[in-house]
Copies of this chain bind each other. A is one copy, B any other.
Amino acid sequence: MMSVANVKDNEIDIVIGALHADLTSFMNAWKPLFSRFHLIIIKDPDLKEDLKIPQGFDLDVYTKSDIDRVVGPSVSGIFSGYSCRYFGYLISRKKYIFSVDDDCLPAKDSKGFLVDAVSQHITNLATPATPFFFNTLYDPFRDGADFVRGYPFSLRSGVNCALSCGLWLNLADYDAPTQALKPGQRNSRYVDAVLTVPVRAMVPISGINIAFNREAVGPALLPALRLSGEGKLRWETVEDIWSGMCVKVVCDHLGLGVKTGLPYVWRNDGSDAIESLRKEWEGVKLMEQIVPFFQTMRLPQTATTAEDCVVEMAKLVKQQLGSVDPVFARAAEAMLEWIKLWKAVGLRSSSPAVQK
């Protein structure tokens, strides 16, 4: 296990959005890695059955009634499906959050050793990122690596890393068309690398296996873009992709870093991709608008916090995309609503965020 300098276990919340009622095998598989940490489990408000969770964890479970109580029933709809996890981001009081989909298990590395995804994410976040110049040997702060010849010394201290995006073995995070075209394709390539995504390079950040510095960019991870036909399969959603664009722009603006690569998780096989095809094209078509919009976005210098940035972004979404598709106008509203929530819940944070 790698050393995670200066980060204590109680600075980390693990947030699980429960889209499946029976979490027994999921939790048991993660037990060696999760048992030291506090867990926040949010039950998808649309899920009817009671959750099944094994003993032996330090955890709090939040259901629809908890969500309604904290944010009010008129707002709670933003937390359905995969977006339920954002409620966990909202009520956590910890510096770091790790979140993983409930259909993923711990992966093994190319030598067969169990991957400690929590430690790897925290190492990614606790060591500097290098967005202003590309290092060809990947993360220079990993053991055995360094800055290559030609890397300016003035940039070698790097910047704070705010977001760490992990990857997936077995079933990779493809969209439904790709999955339907190559139903047998599985990812077996373990790439032993972490790298900083360069400043102003846009990246499709998957929410499947992700960690972030909540204090730095928490408000920028938000439930905003909901497809009209959104379902309960990852490839039927783009909420995390939208959220990822937001947080990347915020990081670029605030001088923070985004890393991608390790750690991997093992992603179990999903359902029939062909059934999802009709729904997915909505998200695929929207990406053609979303990517150039975020690529050219510039935030005003007056925006100095993640909250400021999201408010400014919401204005731009409304102005530039609001008339393109109603889904964008709703996203802009949701972003503003989210920042109000974030501030309101934050004000209550001297006591525990939610009285259970």
A interface, CB within 8 angstroms of B:
110, 133-138, 142, 144-155, 165, 167, 172-175, 178, 182, 185, 187-193, 195, 197-206, 234-235, 238, 241, 244, 260, 284, 287-288, 291
Q: Residue on B with the closest CB to A144?
A: B189
CA distance A193 to B165 in the complex (A): 17
| CB–CB A136/B167 < 8 A | yes
Name the B residues within 8 Å of A175 (CB-CB). 148-151
Name the B residues within 8 Å of A291 (CB-CB). 133, 152, 155
Q: Residue on B with the closest CB to A188?
A: B144
Question: Which of B134, B149, B191, B203 contacts A197, CB < 8 Å?
Answer: B134
| CB–CB B241/A185 < 8 A | no
CA distance A234 to B148 in the complex (A): 12
| CB–CB B241/A144 < 8 A | no
| CB–CB B133/A203 < 8 A | yes
CA distance A235 to B197 in the complex (A): 27
Interface of A is mostly: loop
| CB–CB A174/B145 < 8 A | no
With A149-B173, A151-B204 already in contact, 5 other A-B pairs whose C-beta atoms are closer than 8 Å = A133-B202, A147-B178, A149-B238, A189-B192, A198-B198
Name the B residues within 8 Å of A190 (CB-CB). 192
Identical chains in the assembly: 2
CA distance A205 to B199 in the complex (A): 18
Q: Residue on B with the closest CB to A165?
A: B136
| CB–CB A153/B192 < 8 A | no
| CB–CB B193/A173 < 8 A | no
Q: Residue on B with the closest CB to A133?
A: B202
On whether A173 and B146 interact (CB within 8 A), knowing A167-B137, A192-B189, A192-B190, the answer reads no
On whether A136 and B203 interact (CB within 8 A), knowing A144-B189, A149-B234, the answer reads yes
Residue of A151, A182, A192, A195 most packed against chain B (CB within 10 A): A151
CA distance A241 to B142 in the complex (A): 23
Residue of A136, A178, A192, A206 most packed against chain B (CB within 10 A): A136
Shortest beta-carbon distance from A41 to chain B in Å? 24
Question: Which of B136, B144, B191, B235 contacts A138, CB < 8 Å?
Answer: B191
CA distance A154 to B292 in the complex (A): 11
Q: Residue on B with the closest CB to A166?
A: B136
| CB–CB A191/B192 < 8 A | yes
Question: Which of B174, B188, B200 contacts A148, CB < 8 Å?
Answer: B174
